[in-house]
Each structure stands twice: as C-alpha cells, then as structure tokens.
Amino acid sequence: MSRKDITSGNWAVAEAMRQINPDVVAAYPITPSTDIPMRFSEFVADGLVDTNLVTVESEHSAISACLAASVSGARVMTASSANGVALMHEIFPIAASYRAPIVFGLVNRSLGAPINIHCDHSDSMAERDSGWIHIYCEDGQEVYDTMIMGVRIAEHKDVLLPVFVCQDGFITSHCFEPVEFMEDDEVQAFIGERDPLFPLLDIDNPVAYGSLALTDYYFEIKRQQVEAMKHVERVYKEVAQEFAKKTGRDYPVVDTYRTDDADHIIVIMSSAAGAAKDTVDSLRERGHKVGCMRIRLFRPFPAAAIVDALKDARSIAVLDRAASLGAPAPLFTEIKGALYDAGIHIPTNTYVYGLGGRDFFPHNAEEAFMDLINNKMSPEERYLGLRE
C-alpha cells in the first residue's frame, strides 16, 4: 500500500523523518532547509513522533548534539544548508570517525559571500573529504526514498558512516510535485531497529570515544574509515534492491539516460539532470546520439559504474554546480581520474553552471552538447549561463 500526495522536497524529508521516528533530532533551521525542522517540530508538538527534538543555538551545537546522541546509541537525523553546513564542518570528520550513522537532509545552497540563498553545490562539495557518504537526489520522490534507504545504509554494520542526502535548494526543496509515500509500518519494517555497535549508554560494556591517538594510531583509524567506505557500494546496492522490490523504485549509484549507444554524454548531478535529459530527447530527435549520466552516489565515488557508462563515448561534458577556485571543478576532476585509472582517454570538457542558483535551461545543456558534437574540445573550464 502506498499513498500519493503533492509535496515539496523539504516536506518529503520531514515526512520520511516522521515515519522513521528517530530518537533524536537536533537542528538549527537555515534557508532553504528551514521547512524540514519546522515541519518536523509540528510532528513533535502533535505527538506524532517520540523524538527528542533538541532546539540548539547554532548549527555547530546541532551536529554536536546529534553526534553525542548517535554514539549513545540513538537513531539521529538533522538538516542544514550552506553556511550552516560550513559551521558544522568541524564536527563532520569527527562524526565519521566515531562511525555515527547520522542521516542528514542537506539542502544545497551557495556558500557566501555574496549572501545568496539559492542552490549550488559549494556547501556539500566542501565536505567531500569529511568521511560522509554523499547521495545527490534529482527530485522529491528520490529525496524521500533516499532518506529511508539512508538509514539502512548508514547503520549497516559494515558501513557505520553518516550520510548526506542532498537535494537542490528551492529547485527541489520548495517545488511541489507528486510523491508516493510508503505506509508508516512499511517504513518501520524496512528500517528495523538500530543495533548500535558501541553505545555509550551500554553501561555494562563501557567504552571511551575519541581518545588521543597521535603518531601511533591516528593513521590506522583513518584506514578503518577507508575500509568502511569500500563497503558502501555493496551495501547501497543490497538496500536499493530491497527497496526496489518493495516500492518498484530503483536507484542505481549512477542514473544513466540513453547512454547505451551515445557518442556524447553529459555528466551532471541533482535536479539539473531533468533539463539535460529533455535536451537529450530533443537532440536525439534531430539525429544526435547523445546521453546523460547523473551521479547519485558521490562519496564513495562509484568509479567502476561511471567508467562502464562512459567507456564507449566519443566525448564527454562534465557539468559541475560548484567551482574549485584555482583548480578544475570537483566532479570533472573525479571523472577524469576514474577514466585515467581505467586506461581510457576520452576528450572531456568541463563546465561550471548554476552558481548561486543561476537557472539551468535546456539551451544551456544544448550548448554543452553542441560543443561535443562540433568537436570543440579543450580542458579549459567553461561557464554555462554566465554573462561575460
């Protein structure tokens, strides 16, 4: 059984949280993720969840409270955006190192300055080495589904890592669209109970977290985190498969659209994939063999699946919604690295688009495709939708 409703990306996260009924939510609202704790606090006030909602005085405190609750054995969720995410930064690597499976609704928004409330990926991309799993969603349905799958992936005993469930600020978070919800008991049956490894509240088996580890053990602990990341893709696939069986909605680590026979492929993330796929259809009608690949799982980086989808292309355009000022854009760098490691050399263009929420239209995707089709290739960074 399921029900369909018109809802926003933010409300879809809040609804997933209501159904998950986490033990602790500590949050400090920030645009555009404000709706998530706001709506969830209504659920708390209405007695629809058993959650201990901790209203803190900053994002740093929010994630700190989440971490403490998580290592105590609680199931924990929160949400944030942009400079809120940046303020939390100090705690992110600690949460990953403590193997705290926090599920985090990250609503992508540009990092200031200038102050801007709209979407780009500069906030989450800045956290790509923090040791968290990163999953980027295209629409509200996927956000809802990923919050639920995220609990299982994060808490799996071979993983035990926190997860960012990313959606595009305003574009996805505030856009109302039809979303199919699972029943409450189906969600509960799917996620099960958390079985924490070293809960601080287990006073019969006391442990200490976060002891000093200098030249002797720090390196080994990081290596353990590397190992956990290596298990993510397998666990992700198991969970996604089980989810697909239940709901009919399938989420591979990379989402390929008409790439099988494509000569030219755009690689993109999140909501902009919609415009790119529309452009694939219109260019196909004009006889161009083009396709689109959307990266869903960004950390760990699913290099094999990416190479598999790209290996027969003649040229590639990687579209980044974040710049790495002074170096090639992050997704572009990773895609090139994956191809290089596979011994494949395909000319690849790099485009930055959509910074500060600048709209991304089908004609922007077409511009990138036409560069590929007309063999206008170079490693020089280009910009879509920018005024010169």
Partner 1 sequence: MSSLKGWKDLPLATTVPASTSEEVQTGQWRSMRPVWNEAECIHCLQCWVQCPDNSIKASPEGKMTGIEYFFCKGCGICAAVCPKKAIDMRPESEFIEQ
Work out which of 58, 185, 201, 223 binds partner 1, going by CB under 8 A.
223
Chain length of the chain: 388
Rounded to a whole number of angstroms, the minimum distance from the CB of residue 80 to partner 1 is 23
Placement of tokens 């996260």 in the chain: 13
Rounded Cα distance between 330 and 327, Å, is 8
**For partner 1, the closer CB: 113 or 212:** 212
Which of positions 60-99 make contact with partner 1 (CB under 8 A)? 71, 97-99
Secondary structure letter of residue 90 according to DSSP:
G
Which of positions 262-301 make contact with partner 1 (CB under 8 A)? none
**For partner 1, the closer CB: 71 or 319:** 71
Rounded to a whole number of angstroms, the minimum distance from the CB of residue 271 to partner 1 is 35
Determine, following the binding rule CB under 8 A, whether residue 340 of this chain makes contact with partner 1.
no
**For partner 1, the closer CB: 102 or 295:** 102
CA distances for 187 relative to 36, 145, 191, 243, 318, angstroms: 19, 10, 6, 10, 36
Work out which of 112, 178, 192, 210 binds partner 1, going by CB under 8 A.
210
Strand partners, 53: 25
**For partner 1, the closer CB: 176 or 218:** 218
Determine, following the binding rule CB under 8 A, whether residue 160 of this chain makes contact with partner 1.
yes
Rounded to a whole number of angstroms, the minimum distance from the CB of residue 124 to partner 1 is 23
Dihedral-angle region of residue 47 (phi above 0 means left; psi in -120 to 50 means alpha; beta otherwise): left
Determine, following the binding rule CB under 8 A, whether residue 208 of this chain makes contact with partner 1.
yes
CA distances for 228 relative to 188, 231, 235, angstroms: 25, 5, 10
Rounded Cα distance between 94 and 99, Å, is 8
Stretch that binds partner 1, among 166-174, 210-218, 263-271, 347-355 (CB under 8 A): 210-218
**For partner 1, the closer CB: 100 or 275:** 100
**For partner 1, the closer CB: 98 or 351:** 98
Determine, following the binding rule CB under 8 A, whether residue 211 of this chain makes contact with partner 1.
yes
Determine, following the binding rule CB under 8 A, whether residue 224 of this chain makes contact with partner 1.
yes
Interior/surface letters 358-373, b for 16+ CB within 10 angstroms, e for the rest: bebbbebbbbbbbbbb
Determine, following the binding rule CB under 8 A, whether residue 214 of this chain makes contact with partner 1.
no
Run of H or E residues at 338: helix 330-341
Stretch that binds partner 1, among 222-230, 252-260, 339-347, 375-383 (CB under 8 A): 222-230
Question: What's the token pair of residue 184?
Answer: 């409450």
Rounded Cα distance between 88 and 90, Å, is 6
Work out which of 5, 6, 185, 217 binds partner 1, going by CB under 8 A.
217
Rounded Cα distance between 18 and 44, Å, is 9
Number of residues this chain uses to bind partner 1 (CB under 8 A): 22
* Sheet architecture: strand order including 315-320: 254-257, 290-295, 264-268, 315-320, 348-353, 381-384
Q: Pairing mode, if any, of strands 76-80 and 52-55?
A: unpaired
Determine, following the binding rule CB under 8 A, whether residue 204 of this chain makes contact with partner 1.
no
Question: What's the token pair of residue 376?
Answer: 């206008």
Rounded to a whole number of angstroms, the minimum distance from the CB of residue 357 to partner 1 is 38
Residues at the site binding partner 1, with contacts judged by CB under 8 A: 71, 97-100, 160, 197-198, 206-211, 213, 216-217, 220-221, 223-224, 227
